[in-house]
Amino acid sequence: MAERADYHRADYHPPLRESIPNILGDYGSRPENHWDRSQADCHRIDDGQAYDIPALRQSLKGLTIGGEIIYAEELNSTNDYIKQARGSLSNGAVVLAGRQLAGRGRNGRVWYSESRAGIFVSVLLKAGRREPSFTLAAGLAVTRAVRLLGLPAGIKWPNDCVIDGKKFAGILTETQGMGDFLAVGIGVNVNNSAFPEDIAEKAVSLALAAGRRFSRQDVLADILRQLNYVYKPFMEGGFAVLRDEYLRHCVTVGAEVRLGTPLREGSSETARAVDISPSGGLVVVNGSGARREVLSGEISVRGLDGNYTA
Ligand code: BTN
């Protein structure tokens, strides 16, 4: 039996029918869900497309993010896995799930995790004192990757990724109990052809926006590469060095927004978003002309359409 730490080595191949770690919950204890060496690194995910983990590792070789990749066909939440296993994971470790049973969004919301269609991935990152605004840098990385695919992606402050006002990706960055580390969880609607009624008006997938399907593996590799490309400058210069590019893609600046908290309906205030500060805050001006900076996580912002973004 391998040491548990072995599961996290990039070159580790689980032995025939060895069960995946208990951290996967009940799923890992069911015999039908045990690893099989013949399929250990090629995980077919129902829709005919597969995550080819060795190819993914190869395409990210030498980069901080993706130097260690852990794949499980099913997890409750990739962010939860990162938080629980972080002691045995290296900086930049990637945890990828074929599907999530309890995907989480911001503000306690559920993240719709349709197995055949989406990317569900989390990254463990050392960010130290710079951590609060990394979530914006991650939104920029996803936006860049999708723009390079030819789609007009934009960012709703702080980090909702949208196309024509509809959300295709969300980012949940968690710090609690993580010391100097962050769990950066990214969910992307790639090949969804429809959404549940409650989010149908607000959500879109890359496939719906483009009129064609995408390889989740390629989109994932593009996103992780872009995450690497923003990580280093961010660690050296903070959000300020990414701000100009962020502003070019930010759809919130210039819009009327409502500031409030999702838990206290009715306690909101309308303002105009006018800028993003060098530290990543949203600068707003209210009806009386008072200007102030709103920090991500401090308050919720929604468009006048009523949709919360933070
Ligand atoms: C949002 O509310 O916009 C954030 C959604 C974040 C979803 C991703 S999917 C991978 C990771 N695991 C989770 O449980 N949540 C994040």
Q: Is pLDDT of 226 > 50?
A: yes
**Per residue in 14-42, pLDDT tens?**
332 233 333 333 333 333 333 333 344 55
Which pLDDT does position 31 carry in this prediction?
32
Q: How far is the CA of 278 from the centre of ligand 1 (A)?
A: 25
Q: Is pLDDT of 79 > 70?
A: yes
Burial class (CB in 10 A: 0-12, 13-18, 19+), 32: exposed
Instruction: List, edge to edge, every strand of the sheet that includes 181-189.
Output: 69-75, 94-100, 118-126, 181-189, 166-174, 160-163, 153-156
Distance (Å) of CA 110 to CA 76, 107, 187 = 12, 9, 11
Q: How does DSSP assign 257-302, residue by residue?
A: EEEEETTEEEEEEEEEEEEE-TTSPEEEEETT--EEEE-BTTBEEE
Instruction: Report the percentage of the chain scoring pLDDT > 70.
Output: 76
**Per residue in 100-122, pLDDT tens?**
999 999 888 899 887 778 999 99
**Per residue in 117-175, pLDDT tens?**
899 999 999 887 667 789 999 999 999 999 999 999 999 999 999 999 999 999 999 98
With a 6 A CB cut-off, is 105 part of the ligand 1 pocket?
Answer: yes
Q: How far is the CA of 171 from the centre of ligand 1 (A)?
A: 5
- pTM score: 0.84
d(CA 104, CA 110): 5
Q: Is pLDDT of 289 > 80?
A: yes
Residue nearest to atom 2 of ligand 1 (CA): 105
Q: How far is the CA of 186 from the centre of ligand 1 (A)?
A: 5
Map out the domains of the chain with their CATH numbers: 4-249 (3.30.930.10), 256-303 (2.30.30.100)
Burial class (CB in 10 A: 0-12, 13-18, 19+), 275: middle
